[in-house]
Structure 1
Amino acid sequence: MSPSDVLDLQSILFRLFLSMYLVTVLGNLLIILVVSSDSHLHAPICFFLANLSLAHIGFISTTVPKMIVDIQTHSRGISYVGCLTQISLFPFF
């Protein structure tokens, strides 16, 4: 692959992952907002779905933003603190 092909592929991957991340976060925030704002949705299953959406936001926000930044900046390194943060937050969610 030529360098221009790699840059084109990285640009496509950046836009793809960024759009999927934003759709996921906004969709989960919408679920949380709907469940918390409507009094008819205060059943245990809806509370469970809101908590699951919150956990999903935390889970996906552990690694995906770093990956998106790495695609854009052409960097493959991670700091010790960043690695420790990801390793500790990943099992938490």
Structure 2
Amino acid sequence: MPTSPVIICTDPRLACRLRETLGAELGEDAILEEAAQCRHAPLCRWLKPSALGPSGQVQAVLCDAVATLERTRHAFRSRELGMLRRRLQQLLEELSAQPE
């Protein structure tokens, strides 16, 4: 699963300037004022070095499965595996959007 850069800036004025300057390039949701605003925060080992809870473990395994299917999709060229990868990606997005 490709990742995009995320900038966390706790200074609201600087965050606003960063959005004006880099928002079109990175996307508006790539510049955050708090780490908790990031949809990947539950999985981020940098932000949360403590052990993952059950929900975080499920998301980490799903993320690994999706990444494996993405890396190997040209080797197998299976329509079923492609559909499985998309379903897992959708589930991972839904789980990431849910507040803990």
> What TM-score, normalized to structure 2?
0.41
Of structures 1 and 2, the one scoring higher in RCO (CA 8 A, sep 6+) is 1
Higher helix proportion: 1
Which has the higher Rg, Structure 1 or Structure 2?
1
> What TM-score, normalized to structure 1?
0.44
